[in-house]
Amino acid sequence: MTDRNVTSASPVLAIRDLSVGLKTRTGVTELVRSVSLEIRPGERVGLVGESGSGKSLTMLAVMGLLASPVTVTGGSVTLGETELVGAPDRKLRALRGSEIAMVYQDPMTSLDPLQRIGEQIAEGLRAHGAHRNEAEERALAALAEVQLPDPHRLARAYPHELSGGMRQRVMIAAALAGNPRLLLADEPTTALDVTIQRQILSLVARIQRARNLAVLWVTHDLGVAAQFVQRLAVMYAGRMVEVGPTAAVFGAPQHPYTAALLAAVPSTTGERSALGQIPGSPPEPGNFPPGCSFASRCRQARPGCIRAEPALEARGDGVAAACFVPPAEWQP
């Protein structure tokens, strides 16, 4: 899935060694550990992982929307030239909505039930200096762009009058109305029907291409990742374990976890076989084992795997993986 719009210009978003933790009376519980990722202008990057792997927290940390006691404990996040970690709230507010926008997972609770749809979009635009009429016009335009019928009536409607799929389109409209450079999407289609899911995905893809918008799309669904993203990052237990172009990662996974995830996807072709499963469950935050976090569930684990944590290393073809055991030595 090549895309002419992707350039090798400086990245829109650069996450470097970002760590997020939970501050308790006794110390800090690590939730996201030293995660690094770059997104270039106009690029679609996917972030994949199980629940609890830290992918949503990573995105919230980028937006500066973490709520105490969860907080960034280290690393940096730069949007273009601007450092986001530790930036004053005033600066972050200026960026949110206008440069970087987010769409959330649950459309049912992401809209204020007491306020009309149009107003909720317009108020965001006014917060960035638009006049009342201009904000209204742009809100209507945004609703039209996400293919919602009759934007005028919709703008005056309340959230409870809309279906889940329509609400998610409204969220996307609200996110895009400010014309951001970067769109963060936290599993926006997980709560929706599969057919609606495809519609939303194709809608976002079309808009993304038209605007050369950079997108970070979090999902736990590999199928969505395969359809939509150009580069894929895999997270496990708060760490980045593999990252690279989608085709390369799918074709030749460099990390046992990625391979296991791919093997767990049921196949509609080929022979019938038992559903691949990964035995055990991910470690809980605060209980990360020493060494590689995946070692206890890994078919390829060696004694050295629990002694030290593997770092992300380039494996060629733009792929990087954090594993001591190269695929050539894997056992089936």
For another protein, the binding residue among 23, 132, 153, 299 (CB under 8 A) is 153
- Judge contact between 156 and 138, C-beta under 8 A: no
For another protein, the binding residue among 10, 163, 267, 281 (CB under 8 A) is 163
Cβ neighbours of residue 155 closer than 8 Å, sequence gap 6 or more = 116, 117, 118, 119, 121, 136, 139, 140, 143
Q: Quick check: 285 binds another protein (CB under 8 A)?
A: yes
Q: Quick check: 29 binds another protein (CB under 8 A)?
A: yes
Q: Quick check: 57 binds another protein (CB under 8 A)?
A: yes
Considering the complex, state which of residue 151 and residue 256 has its C-beta at the smaller distance from another protein: 151
Q: How many residues does the chain have?
A: 332
Q: Quick check: 178 binds another protein (CB under 8 A)?
A: yes
Q: How far is the CB of 241 from another protein (least distance, A)?
A: 21
Question: Which residue spans within the chain are E strands per DSSP?
Answer: 13-23, 28-39, 44-48, 70-79, 82-83, 100-103, 182-186, 214-219, 231-236, 239-245, 313-316, 319-321
Q: Quick check: 221 binds another protein (CB under 8 A)?
A: no
For another protein, the binding residue among 174, 182, 224, 261 (CB under 8 A) is 174
The structure tokens 């509609």 sit at 268
Chain centre distance of CA 194: 19
Phi, psi of 241, rounded to the nearest 5 degrees = -105, -25
Ranges within 300-319 binding another protein (CB under 8 A): none
DSSP, collapsed to helix, strand or coil, labels residue 19 as: strand
Q: Name the H helices within 43-161.
A: 55-63, 89-95, 117-127, 132-145, 151-155
Considering the complex, state which of residue 160 and residue 299 has its C-beta at the smaller distance from another protein: 160
Q: Quick check: 102 binds another protein (CB under 8 A)?
A: yes
For another protein, the binding residue among 155, 171, 182, 305 (CB under 8 A) is 171
Q: Quick check: 67 binds another protein (CB under 8 A)?
A: yes
- Judge contact between 254 and 232, C-beta under 8 A: no
Q: How far is the CB of 2 from another protein (least distance, A)?
A: 26
Buried b (16+ CB within 10 A) or exposed e, 83-101: ebbebeeeebeebbbbbbb
The structure tokens 């937006």 sit at 63
Tell how strand 100-103 and strand 182-186 pair up. Answer: parallel
Q: Quick check: 206 binds another protein (CB under 8 A)?
A: no
Q: How far is the CB of 281 from another protein (least distance, A)?
A: 14
Q: Quick check: 196 binds another protein (CB under 8 A)?
A: yes
For another protein, the binding residue among 12, 47, 95, 207 (CB under 8 A) is 95
Q: Quick check: 161 binds another protein (CB under 8 A)?
A: yes
Considering the complex, state which of residue 183 and residue 243 has its C-beta at the smaller distance from another protein: 183
- Judge contact between 226 and 261, C-beta under 8 A: no
Two tokens, residue 74: 């280290």
For another protein, the binding residue among 23, 27, 83, 115 (CB under 8 A) is 115
Q: Quick check: 19 binds another protein (CB under 8 A)?
A: no
Q: Interface with another protein by CB under 8 A: which residues?
A: 22, 24, 29, 56-57, 60, 63, 65-70, 89, 93-98, 101-102, 104, 106, 109-115, 120, 123-124, 127-128, 147-150, 153-154, 157-158, 160-163, 165-166, 171, 174, 178, 195-196, 199, 284-286
